[in-house]
């Protein structure tokens, strides 16, 4: 394909993804009466910030936003730490049943999350975590995909480098911290982005485990703007726009590591 044709194809594909985001922004700044009267378009006659002001006046949006940030940040930090340690162990440590453990971990990728939701709920309920942030955080403390990505990345690390670290007196933890992790910045960036995005957008599990509306995260709080017979579409799009901002910030900050991290992890 020639360069102009490739450029045209890229523009077309980009438009497919950008158009829904553009429509969300337009509806968020469109007056409520225009939305309900069918007057909303891709470029309405007038714009307003009333949807945002009404949203903040009627609901504790900042509390929901901070709840989502706390849950997503703690889950991401815990998930990255556990996945890195597990991936390093499966890649570089010799122990009986290592291949079997890896197969079991990867096999969980084929199990839908809804299939284990009832036993998972019983587990956190017996631990007394229902109604707490930890009921949302701990079940996501490790993911099979994160362990697999870490394992594939660490396999590419030369064993001679680890042997040299051991000769210098480094133990396993010190080798991982001071030798391996400095080389794993692309991997960490990918794991942070995936974990943060997954937890930030999670709806069903926080809805089940967080019973106090003051503890709800933004995806769960969106349901307050949806009635049985109508919905505040301007408010919905305004809150959805706010929920997209942290994801965009995290992606822009980590984008230069994103492709490199996937390629070095053996994922195509």
**11 or 224, higher pLDDT:** 11
Q: 171-227: per-residue pLDDT in tens?
A: 888 888 888 888 888 888 888 988 999 999 998 899 899 888 888 998 888 877 776
Non-local (6+) Cβ contacts of 238 within 8 A are 28, 51, 52, 55
63-217+248-264, superfamily in CATH? MetI-like (1.10.3720.10)
Mean pLDDT over the full length of the chain: 84
Contact of 155 with 91, CB cutoff 8 Å: yes
Non-local (6+) Cβ contacts of 209 within 8 A are 121, 124, 129, 130, 131, 135, 136
Which pLDDT score, from 0 to 100, does residue 81 have? 92
Token readout for 225 is 């703007």
Q: 46-97: per-residue pLDDT in tens?
A: 788 888 888 888 888 899 999 999 999 999 999 999 999 999 999 888 888 8
The CB-based long-range contact list for 129-135 (8 Å cut-off, 24+ gap) reads: 129/209, 130/209, 130/211, 131/209, 131/210, 131/211, 131/212, 131/215, 133/67, 133/70, 133/71, 133/74, 133/210, 133/215, 135/209, 135/210
DSSP alpha helix (H) spans, 38-108: 50-58, 61-92, 98-107
Token readout for 107 is 């096999």
Whole-number Å distance between alpha carbons of 178 and 118? 41
Contact of 34 with 158, CB cutoff 8 Å: no
Whole-number Å distance between alpha carbons of 32 and 30? 6
Whole-number Å distance between alpha carbons of 79 and 74? 8
Contact of 161 with 179, CB cutoff 8 Å: yes
Task: Choose the weakest-confidence range: 9-18, 41-50, 82-91.
Answer: 41-50
Residue recorded with tokens 């429509």? 23
Q: What is the chain's length? A: 268
Model confidence band, residue 234 (pLDDT cutoffs 50, 70, 90): confident
Q: 120-146: per-residue pLDDT in tens?
A: 999 999 999 998 999 999 998 888 888
Whole-number Å distance between alpha carbons of 10 and 20? 17
**Domain boundaries along the sequence of the chain:** 63-217+248-264
Residue recorded with tokens 């930090």? 77
Residue recorded with tokens 């469109």? 30
Which pLDDT score, from 0 to 100, does residue 84 have? 92
Q: What angle do CA 55, 58, 61 make, to 5 degrees?
A: 60
The counts of H helices and E strands in the chain are: 14, 0
Whole-number Å distance between alpha carbons of 203 and 11? 32
266, pLDDT greater than 70: no
């Amino acid at each position: 394909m020639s360069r102009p044709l490739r450029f045209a194809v890229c523009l077309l594909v980009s438009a497919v993804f950008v158009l829904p985001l553009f429509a969300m922004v337009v509806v968020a700044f469109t007056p409520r009466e225009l939305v309900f009267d069918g007057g909303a378009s891709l470029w309405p006659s007038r714009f307003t910030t009333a949807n945002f002001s009404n949203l903040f006046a009627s609901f504790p949006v900042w509390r929901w936003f901070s709840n989502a940030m706390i849950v997503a940040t703690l889950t991401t930090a815990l998930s990255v730490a556990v996945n890195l340690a597990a991936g390093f162990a499966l890649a570089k440590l010799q122990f009986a049943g290592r291949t079997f453990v890896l197969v079991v971990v990867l096999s969980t990728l084929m199990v839908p999350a809804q299939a284990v939701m009832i036993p998972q709920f019983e587990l956190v309920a017996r631990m007394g975590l229902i109604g707490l942030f930890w009921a949302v955080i701990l079940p996501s403390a490790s993911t099979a995909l994160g362990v697999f990505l870490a394992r594939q990345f660490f396999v590419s690390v030369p064993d001679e480098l680890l042997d040299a670290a051991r000769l210098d007196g480094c133990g396993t933890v010190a080798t991982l911290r001071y030798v391996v992790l400095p080389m794993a910045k692309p991997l960490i960036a990918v794991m942070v982005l995936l974990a943060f995005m997954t937890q930030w957008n999670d709806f069903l599990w926080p809805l089940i485990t967080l019973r106090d509306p003051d503890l709800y995260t933004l995806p769960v709080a969106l349901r307050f703007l949806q009635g049985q017979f109508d919905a505040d579409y301007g408010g919905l799009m305004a809150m959805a726009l706010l929920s997209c901002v942290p994801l965009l910030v995290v992606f822009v900050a980590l984008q230069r590591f994103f492709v490199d991290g996937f390629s070095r992890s053996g994922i195509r």
